[in-house]
Structure 1
Amino acid sequence: MKKILFAFLFLVLIISSCKLKEDTTGTDPTGTTSTAIKVLTPNGNEVLPEGSSYQITWSGTGTTLVKIQYSIDNGTSWSLVVDSLTNTGVYSWFPVPNTISNQCRLQVTSVDGKSTDASDNVFSIVRNSNQSLKIVAPKDKEEWEGGSAKQIKWFSSGIDSVK
């Protein structure tokens, strides 16, 4: 009987000294939520006409600000879309640039650099079949003094050259 009691107490002692491992999925060692970003759109095979508007979407937790970039060479180099945007999960990209390519990717990065995600596959930026030219400066009814140097600004879509 003493042996059984001793074995029982020994088992209780061993079991009581064991601790269950806590599930720390989604947290860093300090116990805070980790940063996780996932590009939702464009995520591959989309066709975006230059000069159009496109709704970029992503899911993101653990960060308040994000940076959005795009690539026309399958991620070899990146161009800035917006450098510090509130992490709402949506951004209206306007105008889609007139950088025609079928090797485009989009990347969303937390401004602190802790998380980044890019489109899983390439998408295309294509010539807009609707030709348009919009004068940005001078503004409507703006008058300039003769002989003064001024800059004329415009945005064109579907037009190869403007003279």
Structure 2
Amino acid sequence: MNIRNANSIVTSQVSNLTNGETYYFVVSAVNTLGNESGYSNEAAKQAADLPMPTLSLMTLNRGESIGAGSVYPITWAATGAVSFKIKYSMDGGLTWKKIDKVGNVATYDWQVPAVRKNKKNCLIKIIGYDAMGKRVVKQQSSAPFTIETIRLTAPNGGESLGTNLPYNISWETRTAVPVSRVKIFLNVDGSGVTWHPIAEVNGNPGSYRWTPDVVKTKNTCLLKIVAYDENGRQVGRDMSDDYFVINRN
């Protein structure tokens, strides 16, 4: 029970009550000499009349896409909780890692993990606790969000390219880690297993002019891009979301 005196009006907060139960309260006063008064009149209150704690995620709740290694604000709105534990999952909720535990706030600047490939099945979970440290409410993302490193924008599925016709491969960089080199690969059998190198691009220009060349039409092509930092470490990768076609003209 927490008691505070504000403008001679003494208030108290009682935690860990059970809904549906009726509780009875009396108070007494103790002076500076340690003398205690008699009990006050009895007051009764049913816990079911008390508002239930609530918690709503305001960000990372609608399938957002955020950059790897960036700082992203997690925000929420809550009642009935005074501290919060924040967790994240990158496998759809199978496993969780703790981000932090914070006090009575409603936002947290998250240092997003600098993953090395896109993570498309991420979730955030917020757990709220009352003044006694009891868990009273929790909420997690209603839809998975993505932590992106690099995004292949073209060809990304459904395009029809022609042999010996120049085509602009393009991508967007989302990771906060500087990219010094990009490698581009092609798969023509739809397996996503055997990759043929197309180009190695110094820097990170965001596009590459490519001239496809096949001996016969390929209907199940995929493209992959891999980004590296100045030390040659992979900092991101992505591939076509669906097949594209290279026609033999």
Instruction: Normalising by structure 2, report the TM-score.
Output: 0.40
The reply on whether 1:90 has 2:98 as its aligned counterpart is no
Task: Classify 1:130/1:70 alpha carbon distance in 2 versus 1 (closer, same or farther; 3 Å).
Answer: closer
Flag the structure with higher helix content: 1
Query: In structure 2, how many angstroms separate the alpha carbons of the residues matched to 1:118 and 1:130?
Result: 25
Out of 114, 122, 144, the position equivalent to 2:144 is: 122
Separation in 2, partners of 1:65, 1:130: 30
Which structure exhibits the higher relative contact order, with contacts defined as CA atoms closer than 8 Å and separated by 6 or more residues?
1
Q: What is the one-letter code of the residue matched to 2:233?
A: S
After TM superposition, the structure 1 = structure 2 runs for residues 38-53 of structure 1, keeping only pairs within 5 Å, are 38-53=56-71
Q: What is the CA distance between 1:106 and its match in structure 2? A: 0.4
Q: Which runs of 5+ in 1 are unaligned?
A: 1-26, 134-157
Contact in 2 for aligned 1:52/1:96 (Cα 8 Å): yes
1:84-126 residue CA offsets vs partner (Å, 9 max, x unmatched):
2113211111x21123410001010013222110011000011
Per the alignment, do residues 61 and 130 of structure 1 end up closer, same or farther by CA in structure 2, a change over 3 Å counting? closer
- Residues 1-163 of structure 1 aligned to structure 2 (within 5 Å): 28-29=19-20, 30=47, 31-82=49-100, 84-93=101-110, 95-99=111-115, 100-111=118-129, 112-127=134-149, 128-132=174-178, 159=229, 161=233
Deviation at 1:130, TM superposition (A): 4.7
**Is the alpha carbon distance of 1:40 and 1:130 closer, same or farther for their aligned partners in structure 2, counting shifts above 3 Å?**
closer
Aligned residues between the structures: 111
Cα separation, partners in 2 of 1:130 and 1:56, compared to 1, 3 Å:
closer
1:21-45 Cα shifts (integer Å, max 9, x gaps): xxxxxx9432443221111111022
